[in-house]
Amino acid sequence: MTSSTKMTFDLKTYLRDRQQRVEAALDASLSIGYPETVYEAMRYSLLAGGKRLRPILCLATCELLGGTDAMAMPTACALEMIHTMSLIHDDLPAMDNDDYRRGKLTNHKVYGEDVAILAGDALLTYAFEFVATQTQDVPADHTLRVIADLGKAVGAEGLVGGQIVDLASEGLTDVSLDTLNYIHTHKTGALLRVSVTSGAVLAGADDAQVSTLSQYANNIGLAFQIIDDILDITATSEELGKSAGKDLAAQKATYPSIWGLEESKQQAQTLVATAKASVLESFGSAAQPLVALADFIVDRTH
């Protein structure tokens, strides 16, 4: 079934269409106001391109459950605002101290550290405000649940917790697989999971559906990170749009450093196969976009 799905579903067109809709919605979400500096800094990073994987996952599960863009697009945009905030703060000198991101100078290199910190705070804040004010055709208690789920995914129980453990593990040579898993299920996994589940919640999914999608998201989230670790070794800086080989240079614990490259690739493949099988079983051919998106994650080169 998987191979026939691959044959009949045109992922390239699907992604291009969704990316265009997301770009347009992000552009419209934030116009320049006063003081211009902070809006420019917010837009600089928010509209710097990227795969828009999180918004697309949110739109995909909402559509899978019979929902519309009007229901999901504000949350899709909020996911990208949150993701962008985390990149801006992560790139700061006090954190990863990166000069380039997506092939462009990082936010603080252009606007200064003070503005970058505040632009991140403003994007994070605006994400919640945007969901609260812009979501349409969804019962208010479902929107509240999405706000709560977003909060859990970003805060100390999620992304921030993952970053803290990641920072604390820097330079350590004995990081365990458990710790590495904690870092990634929180630092990247939590936001990917809520990207998938929020679209479903907005469309009125039942608990069993949310649970299936949550498992799918856990599996592709971990596969995503393993591939990220692999690409840091095998891809060029040009392909990545950021410095390659950083993990090796920093002697950072990664899946390839624990498992080796081949075993890492194998693990990612297995996770993606599990993810695909679970959504096909629950949703049948309607799950085609999710199946193709899972493949996209392991097949990507940047």
Measured from the CB atom, is 93 or 260 closer to a copy of itself?
93
Single out the residue of 112, 171, 260, 284 in contact with a copy of itself (rule: CB under 8 A). 112
Distance CA 101, CA 44 (A): 11
- Amino acid at position 193, single letter: R
Q: How far is the CB of 112 from a copy of itself (least distance, A)?
A: 8
Peptide bond just before 35 cis, omega within 30 deg: yes
- Backbone angle region of 63, left / alpha / beta, with phi > 0 → left and psi within -120 to 50 → alpha: alpha
Contacts of 207 (CB under 8 A, 6+ apart): none
Secondary element (H or E) of residue 110: helix 107-111
Candidates 53, 59, 76, 85; binder of a copy of itself (CB under 8 A) is 85
Kindly state whether residue 99 participates in binding a copy of itself, applying the rule CB under 8 A: no
Question: In the 8-state DSSP scheme, what is residue 43?
Answer: H
Closer to a copy of itself at the Cβ: 36 or 262? 36
**Interaction of residue 160 with a copy of itself, rule CB under 8 A:** yes
**Quick check: 26 binds a copy of itself (CB under 8 A)?**
no
Site membership for a copy of itself, residue 115 (CB under 8 A) = yes
Site size with a copy of itself, rule: CB under 8 A: 52
| Nearest CB to a copy of itself, comparing residues 34 and 238 | 34
Among 103, 155, 171, 284, binds a copy of itself (CB under 8 A): 155
Binds a copy of itself by CB under 8 A, chosen from 122, 227, 271, 293: 122
Cα separation of 38 and 98, whole Å?
A: 20
Pinpoint the alpha helices (H) of the chain: 2-8, 11-29, 36-46, 53-64, 69-90, 107-111, 113-134, 140-154, 159-169, 177-187, 189-202, 207-234, 237-240, 246-249, 255-259, 261-283, 288-299
Amino acid at 171: G
Largest CA distance in the chain: 54
Among 9, 14, 19, 37, binds a copy of itself (CB under 8 A): 37
Q: Which of 45, 61, 75, 143 binds a copy of itself (CB under 8 A)?
A: 143
- Which tokens in the block code for residue 132? 């609260």
Query: Is residue 154 near a copy of itself by the rule CB under 8 A?
Result: yes
When binding is defined by CB under 8 A, the residue of 11, 92, 277, 286 that contacts a copy of itself is 92
Intra-chain end-to-end CA distance of the chain, in Å = 28
Of the listed pieces 46-54, 91-99, 259-267, 285-293, which binds a copy of itself according to CB under 8 A?
Answer: 91-99
Residues 215-254 that bind a copy of itself (CB under 8 A): none
- Residue 8 tokens, joined: 């009949």
Footprint on this chain of a copy of itself (rule: CB under 8 A): 33-35, 37-39, 42, 85, 89, 92, 94-95, 112-115, 117-122, 124-126, 128-130, 132-133, 139-141, 143-145, 147-148, 150-152, 154-157, 160-161, 163-165, 167-168
